[in-house]
Amino acid sequence: MIQVLDKQFNLFIEAGKIQSRINELAEKINTDYKDQSVTFVVILNGAFMFASDLFKRININCEITFVKIKSYEGMESKGKTSEVLGLTESLCGKNVIVVEDIVDSGLTIETIKKIVLKEECQSVKIATLLFKPTAFKGNEAPQYVGFEIENKFVVGYGLDYDEQGRNLDAIYQLKN
Ligand code: IMP
Ligand code: MG
């Protein structure tokens, strides 16, 4: 058990398990995009650790770019997403994979997808370490999912609770 600010969390997914699952996801992407090139669009801040471990195992031609969206404060979704910052290069004609830490309501990926599709890219897919299917309100589930989890708050491995806990190498779940 760990303490982050005023809350207690239990170990939920240990570091080794995260790494072996990322291995599998990378293998799948390497196979699916064999002989093609991919532009990864990483959503900061939460996806930085997942993205870094994933990319070390990617062996196809790729470009990596980072964007930022503010969609969450503390433990409650604001219900709407704000602007996308940092997308400076053209995605026209490219195979895009958006890299997320967690897909919860799906609002964030819907926002990103709309912007990316406007650029007339070749394809858009979503790779996320965590997916909360029961919270998801979008139309299309992410194509590359590390772990499907129940609708409970988690921290660690890039994910924060009020900006704390991102440095943890495992994922912890809010204690009841
Ligand atoms: P969505 O737009 O509702 O899908 O929310 C996605 C964003 O909310 C993610 O990029 C995270 O930053 C944040 N988020 C959602 N669930 C959690 C959680 O359990 N812990 C920490 N952050 C979360
Ligand atoms: Mg966050």
Q: Concatenated DSSP letters for 57-111?
A: T--SEEEEEEEEE--EETTEE-SS---EE---S--TT-EEEEEEEEESSSHHHHH
What is the reported pTM? Answer: 0.93
Angstrom distance (rounded) from CA 102 to CA 21? 15
Res 81: pLDDT = 46
User: Which ligand 1 atom minimizes the distance to the CA of 152?
Assistant: 19
pLDDT digits (tens, 9 = 90+) for 139-174: 999 999 999 999 999 999 999 999 999 999 999 999
pLDDT digits (tens, 9 = 90+) for 49-72: 999 999 999 999 999 999 998 655
pLDDT digits (tens, 9 = 90+) for 20-35: 999 999 999 999 999 9
Res 82: pLDDT = 63
Neighbours of 107 (CB within 10 A): 20
Could you tell me which of 28, 22, 86, 29 has the C-alpha nearest to residue 52? 22
Residue 46 CB–ligand 1 contact under 6 Å: yes
Res 98: pLDDT = 97
Residue 158 CB–ligand 1 contact under 6 Å: no
Ligand minimally distant from the alpha carbon of residue 43: 1
Could you tell me which of 60, 54, 64 has the C-alpha nearest to residue 19? 54
pLDDT digits (tens, 9 = 90+) for 97-119: 999 999 999 989 998 998 888 89
